[in-house]
Structure 1
Amino acid sequence: MLKKFLQAFRPPQHGHLPDPDAELALGALMVRVAQADRDYKLEEISLIDRILARLYQHNAIEAAKVRATCEKLHAAAPDTDTFGKLIRETTDLQERLAALDALWEVVLADGNSDEGEMKIVEEARIAMGLSFKDSQEAHERVQTRLEQK
């Protein structure tokens, strides 16, 4: 009985999490960016679902399930650069640039660029083997798309 009582105060165990692939790594990075300001909004959750659906051809339910897994990976996660390196090692340049666009999309979703969000994107950019210029161009592309909406 004491054991059950003490377990109630322990943080939940994450159970068996899948080994991340590029999709789960990107999803976990997007979750990490969205949570960096400690205000994980429904709009950001929905945006992550839409990005996962767009990039990986998921329907809404599949994308939400992937995002939920990504949230768990983020919570139990390795460093940002570990996810970035996984993306670099398993995808081509165009996919890495699309991943960088996705991260900027999450950063700019609420109209504010939090310092913590920017730091995560910068760490991910370096780990993905992309240049500062790539990041500037991704930022501009996303900003232009958002202004056109």
Structure 2
Amino acid sequence: MLDRIRNLFMDRGGAPAEGAHHSQDELQLAAAALLVEAACMDDDFDSEERATVQRLLAERFGMEASEAGNLVDLAEQKVAESVELFSFVRTVKDRFDHDERVGLMEMLWEVAYADGTLHDYEANLLRRLTALIHVTDRESGQARKRALAKLGLQG
């Protein structure tokens, strides 16, 4: 799987052509990249956040833990190389249905709170992503509450 993703991005220079259909690999990488970006916003992508991202990807996409770990590594590389997140956001917005986008927001909130606190930069990113992937503030707030409940935290 990871070889297919790497080849895909090497062939296209990191972004699909306008109007192109996104493969399942692209969808997985886009979701992983947004989760990694959320985890890195406080300049500390610690082992707890990495484990949370890996677990969420494995659950969401039915992957083995090692496969999800490799996807996290690749997403971290792509985020570090990228100057923008728009291509990842566009992939999610275009190919995830509304419920999947709300589910992704819940995953993002869970990653943002994985270390027990919400950094201002993380909150700002999640507010921006809410609008960019066409999820309402109310839906994002409900997703945040569900994520906090899963983590046993109070908001």
Among candidates 51, 55, 62, match of residue 56 of structure 2: 51
CA distance in 2, matches of 1:116, 1:45: 18
Shift of the 26–83 alpha-carbon distance from structure 1 to 2, 3 Å rule, reads same
CA distance in 2, matches of 1:119, 1:17: 31
**1:82 Cα deviation from its structure 2 partner:** 3.5
- Equivalent residue for 1:27? 32
Among candidates 98, 108, 112, match of residue 117 of structure 2: 112
CA contact (8 A) 1:27 1:70 kept: yes
Q: TM-score, normalised by structure 1?
A: 0.82
- Equivalent residue for 1:83? 88
- Equivalent residue for 1:66? 71
CA distance in 2, matches of 1:137, 1:64: 28
CA contact (8 A) 1:82 1:127 kept: no
Structure 1 segments of 4+ aligned residues over 4 angstroms from their partners: none
Q: 2:42 aligns to what SS in structure 1?
A: coil
Q: Which has the higher contact order (CA 8 A, sep 6+)?
A: 1
Question: Which one has a bigger Cα radius of gyration?
Answer: 1
Give structure 2 stretches of 5+ with no counterpart.
1-5, 16-25
Q: Which amino acid aligns with 2:106?
A: D
CA contact (8 A) 1:34 1:44 kept: yes
Q: 2:127 aligns to what SS in structure 1?
A: helix
CA distance in 2, matches of 1:128, 1:28: 14
Residue correspondences, number: 134
CA distance in 2, matches of 1:78, 1:93: 27
Bigger mean CA offset, 106-115 vs 20-29? 20-29
Shift of the 17–71 alpha-carbon distance from structure 1 to 2, 3 Å rule, reads farther
Q: Which amino acid aligns with 1:73?
A: K
- Equivalent residue for 1:3? none
Q: Give the RMSD, CA atoms, in angstroms.
A: 1.9
CA contact (8 A) 1:48 1:106 kept: yes
